[in-house]
């Protein structure tokens, strides 16, 4: 019997209401040793996903490690989109071993989790593999993560993908939440963040709108 196609999104695609975002250890001390991505790109990509999540009202957890005693404050690019939200500070390298974080995961109640942060091989591998083991579905925003070397980041990504984690990029994350330019309530927000944080794509959006008053819809 032939397949019958329908104009509906696949179940593996993310939507604003079907997941929680976990942003881990975007802190000065962690960034100093990060070499797999430069600090400018890292901060830009972190800002893109944080603003997108806040704009689309995705439940988001912000967690730090030893904020006061060692690692320093979280990037303002990550905290500013969530004014007044408490940071969950940990002693454990593996976020999943922190009871306060797990209480928040359970309170949000999403089976699908998206992760980003520093470092990929420690603070992202730990919670994703732990969450997978407990039946959660995990995504990692690869270009909003970083590590002490390209080798460390790439091997960590390979390890997670082999275990079942689904990789994606920061721009992909935002555009997957929008998905249809006819969604006018978030159109200006999405194109605005694209222009601000979307690199060459954002330049293209700015050019098209300025020169031709072009519109994706």
Q: What is the pLDDT of residues 108-142, one digit of tens each?
A: 999 999 999 999 999 999 999 999 999 999 999 99
Domain assignment present for residue 167? The answer is yes
Share of the chain above pLDDT 70, in %: 97
Domain assignment present for residue 6? The answer is no
* Residues 96 and 191 placed together within one structural domain of the fold: no
Domain assignment present for residue 64? The answer is yes
* Residues 139 and 193 placed together within one structural domain of the fold: no
What pLDDT shows up at residue 67? 67
Q: Where are the alpha helices (DSSP H) in the chain?
A: 28-32, 39-55, 76-79, 99-108, 125-133, 150-163, 170-178, 184-197, 199-212
Domain assignment present for residue 24? The answer is yes
Mean pLDDT across the stretch 47-52? 98
Domain assignment present for residue 11? The answer is no
What pLDDT shows up at residue 155? 98
* Residues 169 and 202 placed together within one structural domain of the fold: no
* Residues 100 and 41 placed together within one structural domain of the fold: yes
Mean pLDDT across the stretch 15-44? 96
CATH of the domain at 153: 3.40.50.850
Quick one: angle between helices 184-197 and 39-55, nearest 10? 170
What pLDDT shows up at residue 214? 64
* Residues 82 and 108 placed together within one structural domain of the fold: yes
Domain assignment present for residue 14? The answer is no
* Residues 48 and 152 placed together within one structural domain of the fold: yes
Q: How confident is the model at residue 71 (pLDDT cuts 50, 70, 90)?
A: confident
Which residue segment(s) compose the domain that 190 sits in?
Answer: 180-212
What pLDDT shows up at residue 72? 86
* Residues 97 and 203 placed together within one structural domain of the fold: no
What pLDDT shows up at residue 68? 73
* Residues 80 and 159 placed together within one structural domain of the fold: yes
* Residues 84 and 184 placed together within one structural domain of the fold: no
Domain assignment present for residue 42? The answer is yes
What pLDDT shows up at residue 86? 95
Domain count, the chain: 2
* Residues 208 and 168 placed together within one structural domain of the fold: no
* Residues 97 and 184 placed together within one structural domain of the fold: no
Confidence (pTM): 0.94
Which residues make Cβ contacts (< 8 Å) with residue 16, sequence separation at least 6? 56, 57, 58, 177
Q: Do 110 and 19 meet the contact criterion of CB atoms below 8 Å apart?
A: yes
Per-chain mean pLDDT for the chain? 94
Domain assignment present for residue 116? The answer is yes
Helix (H, G, I), strand (E, B) or coil at 22: strand
* Residues 132 and 187 placed together within one structural domain of the fold: no
User: DSSP class of residue 92?
Assistant: -
């Amino acid at each position: 019997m032939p397949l019958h196609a329908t104009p509906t999104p696949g179940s593996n695609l993310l939507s604003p209401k079907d997941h929680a975002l976990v942003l881990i250890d975007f802190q000065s001390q962690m960034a100093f040793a990060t070499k797999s991505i430069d600090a400018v790109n890292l901060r830009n990509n972190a800002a893109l996903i944080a603003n997108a999540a806040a704009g689309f009202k995705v439940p988001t957890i912000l967690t730090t490690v030893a904020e006061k005693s060692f690692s320093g404050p979280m990037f303002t690019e990550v905290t500013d989109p969530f004014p007044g939200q408490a940071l969950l500070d940990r002693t454990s390298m593996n976020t999943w071993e922190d009871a306060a974080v797990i209480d928040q995961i359970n309170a949000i109640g999403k089976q699908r989790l998206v992760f980003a942060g520093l470092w990929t091989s420690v603070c992202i591998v730990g919670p994703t593999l732990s969450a997978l083991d407990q039946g959660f579905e995990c995504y990692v925003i690869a270009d909003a993560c970083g590590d002490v070397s390209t080798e460390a980041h790439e091997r960590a990504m390979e390890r997670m993908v082999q275990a079942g984690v689904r990789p994606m990029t920061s721009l992909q994350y935002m555009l997957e939440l929008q998905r249809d330019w006819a969604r006018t309530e978030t159109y200006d927000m999405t194109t605005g963040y694209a222009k601000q944080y979307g690199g060459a794509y954002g330049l293209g959006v700015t050019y098209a709108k300025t020169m031709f008053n072009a519109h994706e819809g």
